[in-house]
Amino acid sequence: MIYPISLPLVQIKMAVKNISCKMEEALISCALGKIQISACEKGIHEIKLQEDAVPESRTKGASVSFEIVEGPREMIEPLKQCTAWLRAYFCEPRLTEKLPVPAFHHPTFAKDSFTKAVLMALLQKVKFGETVSYKELAVMAGNEKAVRAVGGAMRNNPVPILIPCHRVICSNGSVGNYIGGKGNQLKPWLLAHEKLLKEM
């Protein structure tokens, strides 16, 4: 569950695995409930979704809610880019292809690893409205036998939606888990949202 962050936002020091950053946060209210974004000047650290949220019903042609409810008056560039990208994703998804994806500064992206390779392959190769199986993504990342490792990368994705782990489904066509099974009600909404808007 996401808890409100008080205004004015206080910058805090965060040190994880030799990464020490001055953090800023923004809180978004949207069709998926609350989304909390943490970032420093070098990039996005985390996107946290409201695991107990009940998504808004989604119908073709209907508008989707999106509002920045808390955040600094003058956002640092990665936070500004992230909120702009997410607004486009929910409200005008065709614009996401023209907008920059913010840099990432979570420890997961600090060094080369198979997890990083999986996440970057997903970001670069699986586009809006498309899906891929865990096995297919393992092939894209360079190791067709590492299906379980792909599942682990999806569970530990620090920036969901931006890196679209909701597009990774089971080989039998079932949608599978989302956020380690904690946000399973959100995944079908995201897939349906993309399908509806791709057809428009």
What is each CA distance from 114 to 16, 47, 51, 147, 175, in whole angstroms?
20, 21, 26, 11, 23
Which backbone phi and psi does 110 adopt, to 5 degrees? -80, -25
Catalytic residue among 21, 30, 82, 165: 165
Burial of 196 per CB tally in 10 Å (0-12, 13-18, 19+): middle
Report in angstroms the alpha-carbon separations of 120 from 28, 83, 112, 171: 25, 20, 11, 21
Amino acid in the structure at residue 197: L
- What is the C-alpha to C-alpha distance for residues 183 and 74, in angstroms, rounded to an integer? 31
All residues at 6 or more sequence positions from 111 whose CB lies less than 8 Å from its CB, including other chains: none
DSSP class of residue 133?
A: E
91 is catalytic: no
What residues act catalytically?
Answer: 165
